[in-house]
Amino acid sequence: DAGVIQSPRHEVTEMGQEVTLRCKPISGHNSLFWYRQTMMRGLELLIYFNNNVPIDDSGMPEDRFSAKMPNASFSTLKIQPSEPRDSAVYFCASSFARAEAFFGQGTRLTVV
């Protein structure tokens, strides 16, 4: 199994541009998480899907952020428009039921 796959690994974009981060969870996993990591705030849960349905999106910072999971093997996190304060490492993780979560390599986003 290739593990959780995130793309791109690095993204540099200009303020105001749309950014889309992608995630392929481990096959057979039914839970998917998007986290944001910064020095100031640590690891923040943005949104959590269970069986492709968003269960908890209380961590999504504002309307500029949106996430979708159209099927069990793909999820996206979109930021539109992006701002410099969105610069962070974004992680996707997946798990089966209550088992441990497996993380992707993360996407380092820089908004200039």
| Minimum gap (Å) between residue 7 Cβ and other proteins | 16
| Minimum gap (Å) between residue 16 Cβ and other proteins | 27
For residue 92, what are the contacts with CB-CB under 8 A and spacing of at least 6?
A: 4, 6, 21, 23, 25, 32, 33, 34, 35, 75, 77, 103, 104
| Minimum gap (Å) between residue 80 Cβ and other proteins | 25
Applying CB under 8 A, the residues found at the interface with other proteins are 31, 33, 35, 42-43, 45, 48, 50-51, 55-56, 89, 91, 93, 95, 97-103, 105-106
- 12 or 15, CB closer to other proteins? 12
CB atoms within 10 A of CB 64: 15
- 81 or 89, CB closer to other proteins? 89
- What phi and psi values does residue 74 have, to the nearest 5 degrees? -160, 140
Q: Are 4 and 94 in contact (CB under 8 A)?
A: yes
| Minimum gap (Å) between residue 43 Cβ and other proteins | 4
Q: Which two tokens stand for residue 84?
A: 């410099």
- 75 or 95, CB closer to other proteins? 95
